Amino acid sequence: MTSPLPSRSAASVLDLAPVVPVVVVADAADAVPLARALVAGGLPAIEVTLRTPAAPAAIREIAGAVPEAVVGAGTVITPEQVAQCRAAGARFLVSPGWTDALLAAMRASGVPFLPGVSTASEVVALLERGVREMKFFPAEAAGGTAYLRSLAGPLPQARFCPTGGIGPDNAAEYLALPNVRCVGGSWMVPGNAVAARDWGRIEELARAASRLTGATGAGGTCR
């Protein structure tokens, strides 16, 4: 799981910022100004989800025009999508779940990847395969902070980026956990702001998100 990342990242996309914006791009023309607003707000790692036909083009545009951004692909569920996203310039990959075939493709891609888990058995299976960094999804529906806290004791080597149901009201609770390095969310890219191309508002929301730390002040600051 190695890839050239900005020098301020130790070795992992999990350590770039406390929040990874989860972005749905309907029009590739919006990708560059959206990414610039997020980076200006202090959130360099940007997950573009493969939920729209415009996603691969959006990744390509950001990779080519916003070098300060670390653009990745989310909702990756097939080996073919791994290849497509890498060709577009994705610098990390995120999946909602995993299979051995998908895991092999992500490992072979040469960039960091976060396979999705929601149970202890899935975490153990990934640790057995040498993977220590994971996406916990859907975070709130799968047990939230209580579940992740219960995993920290028996499985302290696993590090998580929880996503799903996380917003400004509960993000700090996740970031306070010792096994959480950052969280994923979309509250800083509300659909009405993107539709209005209100990049200033998105930058302000991103700046507030970039300042989040753990509720207890311990762990999970992603700095």
The set of catalytic residues is: 47, 135
Residue with tokens 């992992």: 12
Instruction: Give the whole-angstrom CA distance, residue 69 versus residue 138.
Output: 25
Q: Whole-angstrom distance between the N-terminal and C-terminal Cα of the chain? A: 20
Residue with tokens 């996406």: 135
Dihedral pair phi/psi, residue 185, rounded to 5°: -170, 170
Instruction: Give the whole-angstrom CA distance, residue 107 versus residue 103.
Output: 6
Instruction: Give the whole-angstrom CA distance, residue 39 versus residue 62.
Output: 11
Sequence-ordered strand ranges (E) for the chain: 19-23, 45-49, 70-74, 93-94, 113-114, 116-117, 133-136, 159-162, 183-185
